[in-house]
């Protein structure tokens, strides 16, 4: 049986794939979100419906967008994803998403930071 942290990580990854790559935010929220969903991204309205509206709009405006989860970290009730987002028109981002889950393994809170991939770097290590 997976540990609670492993199950939280699996839930967050499934949620992220479903809402971003599969463009199914309603299903992602229905399956993986808790009773209340707190959003800290200033571009997305708070709550479940704000999340659904935002990602439905993104799917329409940016068909073909995709994300690759490069790594994940789970600690207690938190899961962190380090992701490579590719958007139509050549836009690419390195992103960190932080999710808090409740005692039932449901997502109840989200924070994120995004950085455009730079064209030059002072080192050869890359963003991922």
Whether residue 2 has pLDDT greater than 90: no
pLDDT tens sequence across 9-19: 999 999 999 99
Which residues sit opposite 38 in a β-bridge?
109
pLDDT over threshold 90, residue 43: yes
The full set of domain ranges for the chain reads 4-116
Of 28-32, 47-51, 94-98, 119-123, the one with minimum mean pLDDT is 119-123
Please check whether residue 43 is in contact with residue 54, taking contact to mean a CB–CB distance below 8 angstroms: yes
Query: Which class would CATH give 4-116?
Result: alpha beta
Residues 18 and 28 sit within 8 Å (Cβ to Cβ): yes
Task: Count CB-CB contacts under 10 A for residue 51.
Answer: 23
Q: Is 112 helix (H, G, I), strand (E, B) or coil?
A: strand
Q: Would you state the pLDDT for residue 100?
A: 98
């Amino acid at each position: 049986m997976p540990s609670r942290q492993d199950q939280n990580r699996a839930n967050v990854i499934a949620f992220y794939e479903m809402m971003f790559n599969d463009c199914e935010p309603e299903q992602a929220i229905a399956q993986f979100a808790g009773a209340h969903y707190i959003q800290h991204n200033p571009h997305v309205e708070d709550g479940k419906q704000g999340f659904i509206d935002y990602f439905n709009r993104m799917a329409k405006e940016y068909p073909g967008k995709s994300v690759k989860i490069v790594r994940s970290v789970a600690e207690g009730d938190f899961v962190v994803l380090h992701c490579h987002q590719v958007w139509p028109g050549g836009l690419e981002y390195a992103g960190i998403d932080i999710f808090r889950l409740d005692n039932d393994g449901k997502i109840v809170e989200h924070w994120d930071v995004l950085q455009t991939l730079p064209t030059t770097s002072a080192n050869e290590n890359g963003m991922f």
